Structure 1
């Protein structure tokens, strides 16, 4: 095993352990100090609270690292298929460790937290990122997909507002909801034309042919699956925000799991 591959999988393992520690140890200790509502939640809700703390930490780390790479990693920007992948592999390894932790969490608390769409998302990402970790291919495109994590803190914050029973018509909730919709659209939907134009530009090039059929299929199929999910989630977000705006002051629209 190459040194860079070994290091990548070590980072996956460390990432998994760190996120598991945040869920099992750190969040349960600090959350009651942040909000008195935490102690009033059911055990299942406390677990989801802890999991969303982990999700937010992961999103902030990976999203920030992603922007840094996009701006400063000249090798990756110069050759999006075969550029020096080391920094991208580290970022992807952090994400893969998080995804393994999250899938195990879903398995453990499936009745309380079941979300088949998110499970499909996780498996699609792990499937495609496996090629990045093992072969170091497609670093630019792998990193570009991680821009989507910048919307996650706003999604989680909406859940926290609901958990503490803050009315959805209140100003903080509305401001967060608007920010969530705008950021989600920018980092997951608006970038789709630009992303696929760069994908199509690589077709037929020497670098693309060198990939082989496996990475080519993993790349395209996972991207299509993820973007179908993103469009679906964007629809749910706009529908939820519209329901809140149209509801009576102080009211709280009926909430389903996708909201």
Structure 2
């Protein structure tokens, strides 16, 4: 991971401008450890575990293996951060009572884990651009990091930062769809169809259906004293990143819904057929 050194230096240099109290040092440490851990999972753990759990992994070409490892790490991050997010949403009274300036301790820890992951993933995207390069993911990651800078650096908007992490629950199903596809599962196979329906449902639930809740809470604090204590840069990051991410969410939801509809429609027209590898429709 020698190529990661300049990036880690940049992280440390940026954080050096913020007052480094003990908790800030802990958050920086968590971000760096998160970055290194996800790099290790990508380069070492995923290839080792995947080759033993799924024999089909060994048959993939180089680019497919890169994306496989990237998506495996993505799934692990989503489950870890998503569960932590739910805990905060249900049990962190300080954040829920004061969504703008509530005690951000747990949120900062969760966001720092995600920050390490996002920087790690960005590095991998650029390094393996021919295999996993995607401009929309770059925009998504940069928009999220831009907003998280204010959460980690100034402790503002913890409720909204945590709420955004609910979206991670849709990631495992999205990745699983790709795993099925690259392993040769027919689109109308039962595992693929079940995952597709679940993916569309979860994606809608955690990224689209929650929009009214998110923006109504945003409107409820707009114009309050707490709102105006947030710097102009912080408010801009909050509003801009929210709109940017939700535009992409709507685009992705439309694409997922169309794909799910087409598969369900084609499954009704096709008859069950036995597959050579033992899978059945």
Give 2:237's aligned residue: 218
Q: How many residues align?
A: 251
Aligned with 1:169: secondary structure?
coil
For 1:147, which of 159, 166, 174 is the aligned residue? 166
Give 1:255's aligned residue: none
Cα distance, 1:218 vs structure 2: 0.4
For 1:183, which of 189, 202, 223 is the aligned residue? 202
Q: Is the 8 A contact 2:94 2:103 kept in 1?
A: yes
| CA offset digits 1:39-59 (Å, max 9, x no partner) | 100011001101111000000
Cα distance, 1:115 vs structure 2: 1.1
Correspondence 1:103 to 2:127: no
| CA offset digits 1:177-213 (Å, max 9, x no partner) | 0000000000000010111010011111111010121
Correspondence 1:18 to 2:37: yes
Give 1:233's aligned residue: 252
Correspondence 1:94 to 2:113: yes
Cα distance, 1:66 vs structure 2: 0.1
1:63-142 maps to which residues of 2 (within 5 A)? 63-142=82-161
> In the aligned structure 2, how far is the partner of 1:126 from the partner of 1:25?
26
1:31-70 maps to which residues of 2 (within 5 A)? 31-70=50-89
> In the aligned structure 2, how far is the partner of 1:240 from the partner of 1:163?
17
Aligned with 2:188: secondary structure?
coil
Correspondence 1:156 to 2:151: no
Which aligned segments of 4 or more residues in structure 1 are displaced greater than 6 angstroms? none
Q: Is the 8 A contact 2:200 2:257 kept in 1?
A: yes
Cα distance, 1:2 vs structure 2: 2.3
Cα distance, 1:162 vs structure 2: 0.5
Note the residue ranges of structure 2 that are not aligned, 5 or more in a row: 1-19, 274-281
TM-score, scaled to structure 2 = 0.87
> In the aligned structure 2, how far is the partner of 1:7 from the partner of 1:232?
37
Q: Is the 8 A contact 2:66 2:132 kept in 1?
A: no
Larger radius of gyration: 2
TM-score, scaled to structure 1 = 0.95
